[in-house]
Structure 1
Amino acid sequence: MTVLTDQYAAERAAIDAGLRAAAARLPAPAARITAYHYGWTDEAGAAVDANSGKALRPLLTLLAATAVSGDWRDAVPAAVAVEMVHNFSLIHDDIIDRDHLRRHRPTAWKAFGVNDAILVGDALHALAFECLAEAGGERAAAGAGLLAQTVRALIEGQLADTRFEDRDQVDLAECVAMSEAKTASLMGCATALGALFGGGTPEQVEALRDFGFRLGLAFQHVDDLLGIWGDPAVTGKAVYSDLRNRKKSLPVTAALGSGHADALELARIYRADGPLDDQGLRRAADLVESCGGRTASQRAAESLTAAAARGLAGRRLRDEGVEALASLAASTVGRAS
């Protein structure tokens, strides 16, 4: 959790309580894996205080509701639904990417097996819509439709991401479109749901959706930077994890398409068979930087975040909510500094 999100202890507590209540509905084996994934328990089921993630998306939902109405409480079911969809996607992504670590611990599939992890991801997906439905009313129905569209976008983005692995060339526009579907769509959904459950006008809902969408793409740029240069003690993943998997992330794709002389060497590294050793990983990281990929993603993240904040002006939103959203956005982009 970042220092900024520590300022929202009541919101975090409400999100956590909602997640725990939903997980308690699952059959015991699935509830156990869910509790482990969220950092509430260890592999044996004993209570622990592990890292449960930043809860960025559900917090965005609650802050968006605050920006509309000044009160985030009515949006808690939507925030919980958003976080469950996010974690359903994380559990499945870890399987697809064969990632062994998440938040400094073995991923759910490493700890409990692929089959059980897939089923728990499916269960979280279903629970998300159950939580929205129980909120009742027209907002719940509209929210369920929006969340369903977002899940389709997430799947579209994940399909594109996996297919990129089999291609020698992926241009930056394709990579951006994939990131918009896989990451930005859910953050846009998070803020739109907050505005919807906060009683916002259609214009306010759309403005806050656009804010979340732009922030989501900025977040992906930052996440891709951390996937190469991030500190494992902070990210919970192995150093150079994205390069090790030869992921065609945003900075890598920008570097490969830069026209720089070093891009040819980087392309050869990405096309080569076999795992990269430590020297090869360091060289690949240096090449991404020398080709401008690191700078391009940093600048894009900063530009998107500034544009997101500007888009909230003149929407008759509450100052305290807008300021909180802008501060959270700045903190999110600042992770790569």
Structure 2
Amino acid sequence: MTATSAEQDVWGVLSQVRQLTEPALRKAVHRLPEPTRTVAEYHFGWQDREGNPAVGDWGKGIRGALVVACAQAMGADPEQAVPAAAGVELVHNFSLVHDDLMDRDALRRKRPAVWSLFGDAQAVLTGDALLVVAMEILAEEPTMLQELCDALLSLVAGQSADLAFEQRTDVNLDECLAMAAGKTASLLSSACALGGLAAGATPWRTNALRRFGYHMGLAYQLVDDLLGIWSHSSVSGKPVGADLGRRKKSLPVVAALCADVPEVERLAELYLLEAGPLREAEIREAASLIDRAGGRAWAEQEAQRQRTRALAALEAADPEPEGARTLTALAELITQRHW
């Protein structure tokens, strides 16, 4: 598939922000004591599993890019936003290391996850260390630090709810959306607000950017859930079907379970708490049932609704024209991946 001009431009923005932010990330990680530093450098793709230097993938850097792009859209130079961008990316990677451990996901960015290679204890310590250096970067910016801490508390609440849902059979859509708001939307929302704060934007414009990130984050989670069920590991970078295998209450699943259709009875049977992990054939059956019960269609429609609300919030922030184009392109990239 040939990339459009807009897609090429936004990938260029991501590349530029990664180059701008990576020195700050490397400096922060270099402060860590061994062996935590080596584990963190593996996670970021700067070392291979044997400890040799590597030019790996530490992700697209979307959250850092949102910080910088929002700051620029408010009239600031990109360099003003680098500390906040680095802080957000460190927090994001802290959450990934811990999420993989809690969810027992063995792959991250198409490589063995930290816990699966270095053990649970090192995964906990490395995630903790990344969080500490993230806080350190913003220690001299109390308003920014408070913004990020608020997002972290929401993130913890969302992740806690996600884990608790695995032990419940009565999860409703409102609860599930609130979980996604904490687990995913909170950090994207904070990244956009941090861009506004770095630029010295008014509280009104900063809050509009915060809403932009929030709705974009919900759309992102909906798309991520769809990818987790109906995509391939080559696209998602994680084992497809693993969430279904663990009976996780993702948004398409809960939407299906709440539907008044015949398929719900069999899907509920597959999600019985007393049973062990779903087998491969059962995962395929569950995916089909969710689709036929309307879970897939609902998630696709809700993702589009959240995208529309995100773009309305962006317009309310009154960004500079070039900044508006960049942020719109980033939003499209984030929320319209193919599944």
TM-score band by shorter chain is over 0.9
- Output the CA distance in 1 between the equivalents of 2:294 and 2:334: 22
Q: Which aligned runs of 4 or more in structure 1 are off by greater than 3 angstroms?
A: 2-5
- Number of equivalences: 331
Cα distance between partner residues in 2 of 1:190 and 1:22:
19
Q: 1:313 Cα shift?
A: 2.1
Pick from 273, 276, 280 the counterpart of residue 275 of structure 2: 273
Residues 125-274 of structure 1 mapped to structure 2, 5 A cutoff? 125-133=131-139, 136=140, 140-271=141-272, 273-274=275-276
- How far the C-alpha of 1:15 sits from its partner, in A, is 1.5
Structure 1 gap segments, 5+ residues each: none
- 2:90 is equivalent to residue 90 of structure 1: no
SS at match of 1:296: helix
1:109 maps to 115
- TM-score, normalised via structure 1 length: 0.95
Residue 309 of structure 1 corresponds to which residue in structure 2? Answer: 311
What letter is aligned with 2:130? Answer: L
**TM-fit CA distance, 1:72:** 1.7
6, 9, 12: which is aligned to 1:7? 12
Out of 64, 72, 81, the position equivalent to 1:58 is 64
Q: Residues 314 and 109 from structure 1, CA distance in 2 versus in 1: closer, same or farther, beyond 3 angstroms?
A: closer
Task: For residue 5 of structure 1, report the CA deviation from its aligned partner.
Answer: 4.5
**Counterpart residue number, 2:331:** 329
Pick closer, same or farther for the CA change 1:3–1:292 going to 2, 3 Å. farther
- Partners in 2 of 1:68 and 1:168 — Cα distance? 45
- Find the counterpart in structure 2 of residue 44 from structure 1: 50
2-structure distance, mates of 1:83, 1:4 = 21
> Which consecutive unaligned segments of at least 5 residues does structure 2 have?
1-6
Q: Which one-letter code corresponds to 1:129 in the other structure?
A: M
Letter in 1 for 2:278: L
Cα shift at 1:70? 4.5
Q: Is the counterpart of residue 121 in structure 1 residue 131 in structure 2?
A: no
* Cα distance in 2, alignment partners of residues 91 and 216 from structure 1: 19
Contact 1:195 1:205 (C-alpha < 8 Å) held by counterparts: yes
Task: Say if 1:4 and 1:328, in contact at 8 Å, map to a contact too.
Answer: no
- Do 2:209 and 2:317's aligned partners in 1 also have CA atoms closer than 8 Å? no
- Cα offset, 1:51, TM superposition: 2.4
Change (3 A) 1:113 1:3: farther
The verdict on how the C-alpha distance between 1:104 and 1:3 changes in structure 2, with shifts beyond 3 A counting, is: farther
> Identity over the aligned pairs, expressed in percent?
43
2:332 maps to amino acid: A
